[in-house]
Amino acid sequence: MTVTQVPIEPTHDNPDVEHAVEHVDDAGAPSHPIHKVLSFVRRSARLDARLQRAWDNYADTYLLDIAAGNGPLDVREGFSLTKAYIHSIWGNDNPLIVEIGTGQGENVVAAAAAHPEINFLALEVYDPGVAHTLLLAGKQNLTNIRIAQVNAAELFKVTETGVLAEVWTFFPDPWPKKKHHKRRIVQPALADNIHRALRQDGVWRIATDIEDYALHVHEVMDHREGWENLGTVAVSLPLEHVGKGNADMADGMPHADFIESERFEGRVLTHFEKKGIDAGRVIHDFAYRANAL
């Protein structure tokens, strides 16, 4: 069997990528069956002095020690996100909202500041994003937010049933090449784990400015058992997927109407979202409610 090395593509908004390597055989299948397909690659960017000070000053207060510390940032052995653990960290039984991929932390910190009656957990894997979230939370001396530098998909596997009020996934990495679509964070397995982790009637909110990712979300979520699409807005999307090299073909493909949500009023306009709007991209919002199976 011949083993080749395929470089994993950098994200469109983060060029400082330390290229990871995926091993595949001649047929394109992973050569190691236990290899996990990750929705991220580790970045090697160093922290500037300001962000390093934020890390030094606030990590002990806000950063949870739940990762194993390896390359994929797996959850450490024996850890579970349980109701008891949540109470021990936040000191109350307030609803907990988890944001997957907080970026610079603008949204989750703004939400925590606006809603002291709600607890927030920010999941981010990249050091600069974690540090910036620490900085924003620390400057406001917020007490209802914590940060975990961990693989979200692995954390939801060990999250207790019914302990979360909502999950937010705003503007995830689009992995635009078709061969990398399997790396998109919204996947059936994650949807099942989030459904279990949410309390009944809990909501998974998703937003993207990539049309093809919107189609991907509909395919994963619209007919998934236990999920109800709460949207009321009809949008037209192509019925076929496109990749980075042929996205301009989407307009000529057959289209169909799909149902999406109004813009979530609890999401602030971040720098990243504004860039997408300024570039002429349409924002697609989704809200899926977890119903009893």
Known active-site residue 173: yes
**Alpha-carbon distance 146 to 123, whole Å?**
9
Q: Give whole-number Cα distances, 190 to 135, 169, 171, 193, 278, in Å.
A: 29, 12, 16, 5, 31
Catalytic pick among 74, 127, 173, 212: 173
- How far is residue 148's CA from residue 84's CA, in Å, rounded to a whole number? 17
Beta-strand relationship, 145-148 and 119-123: parallel
Quickly count helices (H) and strands (E) in the chain: 8, 11
How many Å apart are CA 124 and CA 9, to the nearest integer? 19
Query: Are the C-beta atoms of 222 and 257 separated by less than 8 Å?
Result: no
**Catalytic residue positions, numbered:** 173
